Amino acid sequence: MACFCVGVMPPLLFRLSVRFLLTLPLGLAMVLGRGKWDPARAQVLLRVPLPNGELMRAQGLQLATDALRLAQFGQTEEALRRLQLAVAMVPTSSELLYVLGNVYLELGNSAQAVQVLQRARALAPQDGDVLYSLGVAYLRQGSYFAAAETLERAVALQPDSPNARFQLGNAYLMLDQWDRARQEYEKTLELDPAYWPAMNNIGLVDYEQGDLEAAIERWERTIEMNDAVAEPYLALATALYVRGETERAEELGAKAMRLDPSYARLEVLRENLWRENLLRDVQILLRTRPVAEALQQAAIEQFNQQMGLGKE
C-alpha cells in the first residue's frame, strides 16, 4: 500500500486564518487569475491603489485560505488557480509553496509538485512538513534515491511521525533495501499500532524475500486491522494460491475484485509498490475463472453506477 495521498488538509489553514483579516476582491482575483500577477495592470483595470508589501502578503495568504476551503469541498481546480495567484503575489512564502505543492500532489502532477516543493525547501530547509511532502512527490515521480534522502531528513526532524516513517520505508522498498524498509514499517507500527498500510507492506517485503508464510501472516493481520480494502485480500489470495490453497485463494481473490476491480490492473498494483515476484504471481490468480468472473461482474456494476443505472 503506497498511501501516497498526503492526507487531510494540511494544518496551514489554521495558521493562516487567525493571522490575516484582509481579503482580495473577487473581481481582482478573477482578472489576475488569467495571467501573471501584474500590479500596474490591476491598478488600471480596477482603479485601486498599488498595494504595499504587507498588504500583498495579507491578500495572498487570504487567497490561500479561501483555496483550502474550496479544496475541502472538492473544488480542486479552482483551489489550484487561487493558490497559483497567491504564490505569484507572495513568491517568498514557503507556506504557500507548501500548500500549492500538496494540491499538485492531490491532482497527480508529481513533476509540478516537485518543482514547487523544491522552492519551498530552499526557503525553509528545516521544515519537516515540506521535506515530507517533497519526499512523497519524489516517490510519485519515481526518483527513489532523492525520495529516500529527503525523507531521511524529514524523519530526522520528525522522528515520531508515522507518516514520514512509512514513506521512508516505501522509498527503501523501491530501492530493494528490504531490511531498512522493514525497520521503518515496524517503527511506524510502534508509533501507531493501527497503521495497517505498514503491516501490509511488511508482507510485501516478506514476499519478495521469499518468506511466504510470514507474508501470509502479515496480510491476515492486515485484514483484521482493516477488512474494507482490496489490496491485502488480493495479496493474501496470491500467496495462498502459490501455497496450493486454490479454493480459498480464488474466494479471496474474487472478494478483492468485488471490493475494488481496479486492483486487476498492473499499473494500480505498481502504484501500490507491488514488486516483481508478487506481480508475476498475481497474474496467474487473476486468470482463474472465479476471480475473472468476479472482476467482470464488478466492472459491470461499476459501469452501471457511473451511468446512473440501477439493477433490474
**pTM to 2 decimal places:** 0.79
Contacts of 26 (CB under 8 A, 6+ apart): none
Confidence of residue 51 (pLDDT cuts 50, 70, 90): low
Per-domain residue ranges of the chain: 194-312
Secondary structure of residue 281 in the 3-state scheme: helix
Q: In whole angstroms, how far apart are CA 312 and each of 294, 298, 301?
A: 19, 16, 12
User: Do 247 and 289 form a contact (C-beta atoms < 8 A)?
Assistant: no
Measured CA to CA, the distance from residue 24 to residue 183 in angstroms comes to: 48
Per-residue pLDDT at 172 exceeds 80: yes
Compute and round to an integer the Cα radius of gyration of the chain: 23
Which DSSP string corresponds to 143-192?
A: -HHHHHHHHHHHHHH-TT-HHHHHHHHHHHHHTT-HHHHHHHHHHHHHH-
CATH superfamily of 194-312: Tetratricopeptide repeat domain (1.25.40.10)
Q: CA nearest 103: which of 131, 129, 75, 128?
A: 75
Confidence of residue 291 (pLDDT cuts 50, 70, 90): very high
Confidence of residue 243 (pLDDT cuts 50, 70, 90): very high
Contacts of 227 (CB under 8 A, 6+ apart): none
Distance of CA 103 to the CA centre of its chain: 10
- Residues of the chain with pLDDT > 70, as a percent, come to 82
Q: What's the pLDDT score for residue 35?
A: 41
Confidence of residue 52 (pLDDT cuts 50, 70, 90): low
Q: What is the pLDDT of residues 88-146, one digit of tens each?
A: 888 998 999 998 999 899 889 999 999 999 999 999 999 999 999 999 999 999 999 99
Q: What's the pLDDT score for residue 63?
A: 80
